[in-house]
Amino acid sequence: MRTTYRMRAGRFLGIPAAGLILLGVAAILWAFGLPTTVIAVFVVLGGLVVLGGVYILARPPVVLKLRDSELDVRGVRTPWTDVTAVGRAESTHGEAIVLRTKQKEHSVLVPIAWLVPGQVESLETALRDRLNAAHGYTIWDGTAPEDEDRAE
């Protein structure tokens, strides 16, 4: 099973806004009577930036992909068996989810500010569940396990 987490779309509102500014500049240049080619350049450039921004808002970049055998954070793949712990820590981007690996210098950070607010708790739960499954852990329900090979 594969789960994909994308960046918060609101982080990219400035892109279509910049395109609209370029279209506004084209309108001002048209009002001053500048040559049509100059105006056309601003219209095409502004239109492309607006379209690109709308596309990014509709389909934000992928931050994290959870697969059965590995996780992919911004293009860096790490097998679940190499991940030792999941927690939170402060980073240069604010609070982040930290995936500690067997190699201390290769911890993977996922800034919480990049994610949709409602996804953070479900992401942490999914990370812990997959980490437990990869290492063969189960959540203890408070009962003793059944022993098939009992002494009589």
CB 79 within 8 A of CB 70: yes
Is residue 35, in this structure, part of any structural domain at all? yes
Is residue 144, in this structure, part of any structural domain at all? no
Same domain, 78 and 107: yes
CB 30 within 8 A of CB 39: yes
The pLDDT confidence band at residue 27, using thresholds 50, 70 and 90, is very high
Q: What is the per-residue pLDDT across 49-99, written as a single tens digit (0 to 9) for each?
A: 999 999 999 999 999 999 888 888 888 888 888 888 888 889 888 999 988
Q: In the prediction, which pLDDT does 109 show?
A: 87
pTM of the predicted structure, to 2 decimals: 0.72
Same domain, 86 and 50: no
Same domain, 45 and 83: no
Range of the domain at 9: 3-58
- Quick check: helix, strand or coil at residue 76? strand
Q: Is the pLDDT of residue 150 over 60?
A: no
Q: How many domains does the chain have?
A: 2
Q: In the prediction, which pLDDT does 83 show?
A: 86
Q: In the prediction, which pLDDT does 139 show?
A: 64
What residues contact residue 65 under an 8 Å CB cut-off, 6+ apart? 2, 3, 4, 5, 71, 72
Q: In the prediction, which pLDDT does 149 show?
A: 58
Same domain, 88 and 128: yes
* Type of residue found at 112: I
Q: What is the per-residue pLDDT across 94-149, written as a single tens digit (0 to 9) for each?
A: 999 988 888 877 888 889 999 988 888 888 888 888 888 887 776 666 666 666 65
Q: Is the pLDDT of residue 37 over 90?
A: yes
